[in-house]
C-alpha cells in the first residue's frame, strides 16, 4: 500500500465490484483499486458447491449479521448471512443464475424516465458477460461470441472493451444431478397448473424446472474467478486490497457548498490508510455495507448521525431506508419409496460414496446448489405476474447448519417475490467495526401476510397431486395452513429470510425518486453506488420517500446470482454516453406426509446470539 492515489476506488469485491473492476481497469491509462474487507477466496469450501454449508455462519467468509427482533416473527432475530470474502455473496450463496422478470426492468424505466432500463435494452448487457453452456442465442451469450453491445457502441469505453475481447466471463451451466423426488414434484406442479420450463431467464420466469447455476465443471464459479483472475491480476494498473475495511469516505466542501468524495479511509488490520481517487469512488458494498459506510461518512439521516456522534455532511433521510427482503417459508414432506439426501447421508458408506462421486466426477450431492428445482407461480389467480417462487430440495433439516432428519423427506420452500414490508439499516455507533442494526420488518403488512398464507395453500395443493402418489405417507400437518390473522402461530416462529436483500443507499439528485439520475448521493459529487440498487437488481431509496412513496422502485422478482451494475456499460461510471437523470378448511389426504413449516431458508441457520468480530477483520 505505497502509492495510494488512484483514478477509481471500488469499495466491496462482490458481484458488482469484481465486474466493475474488470471493466474499469480495461483502460490501461486508469489506475483502479478494489477494496475487500474479507480475505482472499482461497478457502476450499468456497469452491466446492456444497461448501455453502461451511461458509455461512463461518467468520472466515461471513459477516455474521443478525436481524433485529421482528414483531412479524414473534420477536425473533434471524441470522443474516452476507459474504465477507473475495467474491462477496457469490462465494457463499446458492449459485442460482436468475435475471428476474422483465416487468421489473420496464418498471424501472418508467420510474426513472429512461427507456434504456427496459428489459429489451438491458438484455444485450446480460448477454455480453454470459458464458452459457448451450452457446449464444437470442436470449443468452457465450464466450467467443461477438456482443452487439461492443460491435455497435462507439464510446471510448466500448472501444476499450472491444480491444480487450471482453465478455463471456460469467459461466452458466445446468446442474450435474437429478432426483426422482424432484422430478415427481415438477410433474405434480404441472398437474396443479404450473407450466414446465427449461429456462427461467426469458423475461417472465413462470413455470417449474431445474435451476441453472454459476458453476464450471462441478465447481462454484464466483465473480473473483470470472472477472478478476487472471484478467485483472495481469493488469499493472489494477490493485487489490483484501482484509481491508473502509471506515469512512473522505469528503471535501466545494466553493458552491456541495460535498465531493475524494477517497476513503481504510483499516488494513494494522493501521489506517488513506486512499485517494482522482475520478470516482464507487460503493459496491451491498445492501448492508453501502448504507453503513455512507452513514459513517456523514451521508444519511441527520438525526441518526448526530445521535451516534457522526457529523452530518449531507442530510439524506433515505439512506438506510426502504430495505426489502424475501421471507422464506419452508414446508417439509416425509416420503417413502424414493431416494433423498437424508437417507444417502445417514451412513458412513453413503457419505463415502458421495465423496468419491465428487472426487472422480465432480457430480452428485457435493455438486448441489442449496436448491435444485424451482417454480414461479401466482399466489392467487388475480395476480398479473408470478409473485411467489419455490426452491425444492431432496432433503430436510431444522435449519441449515444442523443435521439432516433421520427419515426420508423433501423440502418445498416458497417466498414472496414482491414484499410490501419495508425495513432499514442503521449504524448503532460511529465505530466502523460495529455491525449495523438490520431491521427488515418481515410480515409487517396485511398484503405480505396474505401472500404467506396463500403460498402455503398452494404448496399443499402441489403435494396433493397424483404425481407424488408413489411417495404416499398420508397427510398429517403439524402446522395447519393458517388464515392471515393466525400467521403468528404457524409462521412467526418458523420462517427465515432467503434472498439477498435490496434497497436503500444513495439516490438521484435531491428530490427525485429512487434511481432517477446518476446513482450517486444527492449533494455529493464523485460518490457513486452500484450493486443492490436498480443496477444490481433491487431498489434504491428516495431522499424524500415520505413524499414519493408511490414512485419507489421495488425489489425484482426472482433475481439471484446475477449483477446488473456495470454489465458492459449500464453504469454511468463506465459509459460516458449514459446521460443520467379461523383455521383453513381441511383438504383430503396428500400423497405426502406434511411434517412442518420449519424455520430455515437457503441462507438462514439456527437462531443464536449476535456474533461479531471485534473489528470485522480476520
Kindly give the pairing relationship between strand 299-300 and strand 314-315. parallel
**pLDDT of residue 163 exceeding 80:** no
> Does residue 578 register a pLDDT over 90?
no
Please give the pLDDT value at position 146. Answer: 83
pLDDT the model gives residue 156: 73
Instruction: Say yes or no to pLDDT of 61 above 70.
Output: yes
Give the pLDDT score at 158: 80
Alpha-carbon distance of 49 to 133, in angstroms, equals 18
> Quick one: what percent of the chain has pLDDT higher than 70?
76
What is the residue whose three cell numbers read 465428487?
358
- Name the pLDDT band for 510 (thresholds 50, 70, 90): very low
pLDDT value of position 144: 87
Query: What pLDDT is stored for residue 531 in this prediction?
Result: 59
Bigger pLDDT: 475 vs 499: 499
Span 238-242, average pLDDT: 98
DSSP assignments along 595-616, one per residue? EEEES--SS----------TTS
Query: In this predicted structure, what is the pLDDT of residue 584?
Result: 33
pLDDT at 536 over 80: no
Residue 490: pLDDT over 60: no
Grade residue 155 by pLDDT with cuts at 50, 70 and 90.
Answer: confident
Q: Are 457 and 584 in contact (CB under 8 A)?
A: yes
Q: What is the pLDDT of residue 547?
A: 25
What length does the chain have?
618
Residue 483 reports pLDDT greater than 60: no
Distance, in Å, from the CA atom of 618 to the CA atom of 67, rounded to the nearest integer, reads 22
Q: How far is residue 448 from each of residues 111, 377, 418, 452, measured CA to CA in Å? A: 23, 16, 9, 6
- pLDDT of amino acid 495: 56
Task: Output the pLDDT for position 399.
Answer: 74
Distance, in Å, from the CA atom of 168 to the CA atom of 144, rounded to the nearest integer, reads: 7
CA–CA dist 216, 64 (Å, integer): 28
Cα 373 from Cα 152, distance rounded (Å): 38
Per-residue pLDDT, 335: 93
C-alpha cell at 95: 449459485
Q: pTM for the complete prediction?
A: 0.84
pLDDT (0 to 100) of residue 297 = 97
| Beta bridge partner(s), residue 513 | none
pLDDT at 5 over 50: yes
Identical fold, 1-41+85-171+214-321+502-579 and 53-70+176-210+326-498+582-618: no
Second CATH level (architecture) for the domain 1-41+85-171+214-321+502-579: 3-Layer(bba) Sandwich (3.50)
| DSSP class per residue in 477-493 | -SSPPPPGGGHHHHTTT
Q: Which fold does the domain 53-70+176-210+326-498+582-618 belong to in CATH?
A: Glucose Oxidase; domain 3 (3.30.560)
* Dihedral angle over CA of 100, 426, 549, 604, nearest 10: 30
Q: Is the pLDDT of residue 524 over 70?
A: no
Cβ contacts of residue 360 below 8 Å, gap of 6+? none
Mean pLDDT on 408-426: 96
| Contact between 515 and 108 (Cβ < 8 Å) | yes
Average pLDDT of span 360-377: 95
Spell out the domain ranges in the chain: 1-41+85-171+214-321+502-579, 53-70+176-210+326-498+582-618
Distance CA 554, CA 96 (A): 21
Whether residue 221 is predicted with pLDDT greater than 70 in this model: the reply is yes
pLDDT of residue 262: 96
- Is the CB of residue 393 less than 8 Å from the CB of residue 601? no
- pLDDT above 90 (res 398): no
**What is the average pLDDT value for the chain, to the nearest integer?**
81
Q: What's the burial of 302, exposed, middle or buried (CB within 10 Å: 0-12/13-18/19+)?
A: middle
Share of the chain above pLDDT 90, in %: 67
Give residue 500's pLDDT: 56
Q: How confident is the model at residue 160 (pLDDT cuts 50, 70, 90)?
A: confident
The whole-number pLDDT of residue 554 equals: 63
Cis ω before 230 (30° cut-off from 0): yes
What are the cell numbers at 36? 475487500
Q: What are the tens digits of pLDDT across the range 282-300?
A: 999 999 999 999 999 999 9
**pLDDT at residue 136, rounded to an integer:** 95
107-117 pLDDT, tens digit per residue, is: 999 999 999 99
- Alpha carbons 338 and 410: distance in angstroms, whole number: 10
CB 47 within 8 A of CB 215: no
Does residue 566 contact residue 157 with C-beta atoms inside 8 Å? no
pLDDT tens digits for range 30-44: 999 999 999 999 999
Please provide residue 190's backbone torsions phi and psi, each rounded to the nearest 5 degrees.
-65, -45
Convert the pLDDT of each residue in 451-476 to its tens digit: 999 999 999 999 999 999 877 453 33
CA–CA separation, 340 and 396 (whole Å): 9
Per-residue pLDDT, averaged over 411-421, amounts to 95
Amino acid at each position: 500500500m505505497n502509492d495510494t492515489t488512484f483514478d477509481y476506488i471500488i469499495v466491496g469485491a462482490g458481484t458488482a465490484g469484481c465486474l466493475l473492476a474488470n471493466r474499469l481497469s480495461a483502460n490501461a491509462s486508469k489506475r483502479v483499486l478494489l477494496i475487500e474487507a474479507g480475505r482472499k477466496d482461497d478457502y476450499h469450501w468456497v469452491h466446492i458447491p456444497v461448501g455453502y454449508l461451511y461458509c455461512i455462519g463461518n467468520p472466515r467468509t461471513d459477516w455474521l449479521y443478525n436481524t433485529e427482533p421482528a414483531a412479524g416473527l414473534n420477536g425473533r432475530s434471524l441470522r443474516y448471512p452476507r459474504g465477507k470474502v473475495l467474491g462477496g455473496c457469490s462465494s457463499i450463496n446458492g449459485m442460482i443464475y436468475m435475471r428476474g422478470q422483465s416487468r421489473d426492468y420496464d418498471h424501472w424505466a418508467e420510474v426513472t424516465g429512461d427507456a434504456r432500463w427496459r428489459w429489451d435494452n438491458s438484455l444485450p448487457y446480460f448477454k455480453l458477460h454470459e458464458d452459457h453452456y448451450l452457446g449464444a442465442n437470442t436470449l443468452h451469450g457465450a464466450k467467443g461470441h461477438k456482443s452487439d453491445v461492443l460491435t455497435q457502441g462507439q464510446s471510448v469505453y466500448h472501444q476499450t472493451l472491444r480491444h480487450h475481447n471482453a465478455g463471456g466471463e460469467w459461466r452458466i451451466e445446468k446442474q450435474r444431478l437429478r432426483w426422482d423426488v424432484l422430478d415427481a414434484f415438477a410433474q405434480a406442479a404441472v398437474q396443479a397448473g404450473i407450466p414446465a420450463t427449461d429456462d427461467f431467464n426469458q423475461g417472465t420466469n413462470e413455470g417449474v424446472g431445474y435451476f441453472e447455476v454459476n458453476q464450471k465443471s462441478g465447481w462454484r464459479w464466483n465473480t473473483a474467478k470470472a472477472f478478476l483472475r487472471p484478467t485483472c491480476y495481469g493488469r499493472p494498473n489494477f490493485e487489490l486490497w483484501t482484509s481491508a475495511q473502509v471506515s469512512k469516505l473522505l469528503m471535501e466542501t466545494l466553493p458552491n457548498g456541495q460535498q465531493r468524495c475524494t477517497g476513503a479511509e481504510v483499516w488494513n488490520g494494522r493501521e489506517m490508510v488513506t486512499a485517494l481517487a482522482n475520478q470516482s469512488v464507487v460503493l459496491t458494498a451491498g445492501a448492508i455495507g453501502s448504507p453503513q459506510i455512507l452513514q459513517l461518512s456523514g451521508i444519511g439521516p441527520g438525526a441518526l448521525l448526530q445521535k451516534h456522534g457522526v457529523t452530518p455532511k449531507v442530510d439524506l433521510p433515505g439512506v438506510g431506508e426502504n430495505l426489502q427482503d424475501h421471507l422464506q417459508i419452508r414446508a417439509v414432506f416425509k416420503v417413502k419409496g424414493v431416494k433423498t439426501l437424508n437417507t444417502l447421508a445417514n451412513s458412513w458408506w453413503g457419505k463415502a460414496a458421495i465423496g468419491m462421486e465428487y472426487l472422480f466426477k465432480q457430480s452428485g450431492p457435493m455438486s448441489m446448489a442449496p436448491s435444485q428445482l424451482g417454480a414461479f407461480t401466482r399466489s392467487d389467480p388475480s395476480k398479473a405476474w408470478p409473485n411467489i417462487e419455490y426452491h425444492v430440495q431432496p432433503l430436510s433439516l431444522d435449519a441449515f447448519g444442523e443435521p439432516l432428519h433421520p427419515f426420508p423427506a423433501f423440502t418445498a420452500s416458497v417466498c414472496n417475490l414482491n414484499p410490501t414490508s419495508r425495513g432499514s439499516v442503521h449504524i448503532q455507533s460511529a465505530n466502523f467495526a460495529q455491525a449495523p442494526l438490520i431491521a427488515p420488518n418481515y410480515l409487517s403488512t396485511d398484503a405480505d401476510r396474505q401472500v404467506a398464507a396463500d403460498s402455503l395453500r398452494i404448496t399443499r395443493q402441489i403435494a396433493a397431486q397424483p404425481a407424488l402418489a408413489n411417495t404416499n405417507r398420508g397427510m398429517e400437518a403439524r402446522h395447519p395452513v393458517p388464515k392471515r390473522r393466525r400467521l403468528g402461530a404457524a409462521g412467526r416462529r418458523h420462517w427465515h429470510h432467503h434472498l439477498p436483500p435490496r434497497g436503500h443507499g444513495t439516490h438521484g439528485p435531491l428530490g427525485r425518486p429512487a434511481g432517477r439520475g446518476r446513482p450517486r448521493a444527492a449533494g455529493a459529487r464523485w460518490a457513486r453506488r452500484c450493486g443492490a440498487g436498480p443496477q444490481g437488481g433491487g431498489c434504491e431509496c428516495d431522499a424524500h420517500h415520505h413524499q414519493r412513496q408511490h414512485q419507489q422502485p421495488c425489489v425484482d422478482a426472482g433475481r439471484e446470482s446475477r449483477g446488473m451494475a456495470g454489465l458492459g456499460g449500464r453504469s454511468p461510471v463506465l459509459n460516458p454516453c449514459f446521460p443520467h437523470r379461523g383455521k383453513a378448511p381441511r383438504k383430503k389426504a396428500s400423497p405426502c406426509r406434511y411434517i412442518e413449516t420449519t424455520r430455515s431458508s437457503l441462507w438462514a441457520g439456527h437462531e443464536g446470539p449476535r456474533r461479531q468480530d471485534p473489528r470485522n477483520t480476520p
